[in-house]
Amino acid sequence: MEQNPTAFIATELIKQIDDESPQCMMWLISSMNRFLILNPHMSLLEYKRIVGKSAPDTYNSFHSIIAMKDLKTID
């Protein structure tokens, strides 16, 4: 079964985080887990908005790079 290209890239980015910093991956998983304990139905969009408010400099840099590359984002 062939994987959707966008899902493939997303999975590769997760692997890249883990390769670069297993500790950061642990923190990311822990953060998601804690929010899901509070609300098991939390959407990825809700989580993304929390990330943006918690790390605004990196979030804004991400959006700047995405805009330069004319790629799609969902906010």
Question: At residue 1, does pLDDT exceed 70?
Answer: no
Residue 42: CA count within 13 A, CB half-sphere:
16
In our burial notation (b when 16+ CB lie closer than 10 A, e otherwise), range 5-28 reads eeeeeeeeeeeeeeeeeeeebeee
On whether the CB atoms of residues 72 and 65 are closer than 8 A, the answer is no
* Averaged pLDDT score across all residues of the chain: 95
Which residues, at least 6 apart from 74, have a Cβ–Cβ distance to it below 8 Å?
45, 48
Question: pLDDT digit string (tens) for 40-60?
Answer: 999 999 999 999 999 999 999
pLDDT confidence of residue 2: 72
Calpha distance 35→51 (Å, rounded): 11
pTM as predicted: 0.84
